[in-house]
């Protein structure tokens, strides 16, 4: 996985996360959108970059386990971001008094699996990465 792919995932994740949140929760969550100067959410950006970096290494892991890995790691990222967010002022999100919850963790797992597929689209198969065979002809 190239750093260019990870950087692209960072930018697309930040903007895509803003679009997802705006489409689903924008009218109800003025704290999340009222203080943003640009349509970008860093928590989604870091999550997408992490998935893009990890996806090639997790290819051989069963899909259910990968979903669990993404659900757990993205929930931890969300918990860290929530702690920082609350320290800086009014929280941007709140799941009934908590920063994380089980339904959202499941959603992060599914979103992680989808983002993984996007990150791997540019990857070629392992066989395509092998050097071409050399043929030697003798006279």
Q: Which own/partner contact pairs does 97-101 have at CB distance under 8 Å and 24+ positions apart?
A: 100/75
Q: Between the CA of residue 20 and those of 23, 72, 100, what are the distances in Å?
A: 5, 20, 17
Say how far apart CA 55 and CA 118 lie, in whole Å: 10
Domain ranges of the chain: 3-129
- 37 phi, psi to nearest 5 deg: -85, -30
pTM of the model: 0.77
Query: Nearest CA to 93 among 38, 37, 44?
Result: 44
Cβ contact 78:95 at 8 Å: no
Say how far apart CA 133 and CA 137 lie, in whole Å: 13
Spell out the alpha helix ranges (H) of 89-101: none
Per residue of the chain (139 residues), give pLDDT as tens: 688 889 999 999 999 988 887 787 765 655 555 555 677 888 899 999 999 999 999 989 999 999 999 999 999 998 888 888 888 877 677 777 788 889 889 999 999 999 999 888 866 555 445 455 656 667 6
């Amino acid at each position: 996985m190239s750093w260019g792919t990870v950087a692209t995932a960072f930018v697309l994740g930040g903007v895509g996360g803003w679009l997802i949140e705006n489409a689903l929760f924008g009218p109800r969550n003025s704290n999340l959108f009222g203080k943003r100067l640009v349509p970008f959410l860093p928590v989604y950006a870091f999550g997408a970059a992490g998935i893009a970096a990890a996806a090639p290494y997790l290819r051989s892991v069963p899909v259910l386990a990968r979903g669990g890995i993404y659900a757990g790691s993205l929930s931890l990222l969300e918990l860290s971001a929530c702690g920082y967010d609350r320290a800086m002022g009014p929280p941007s999100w709140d799941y009934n008094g908590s920063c994380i919850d089980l339904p959202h963790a499941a959603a992060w797992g599914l979103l992680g699996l989808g983002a993984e597929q996007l990150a791997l689209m540019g990857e070629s198969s392992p066989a395509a990465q092998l050097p071409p065979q050399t043929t030697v002809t003798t006279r």
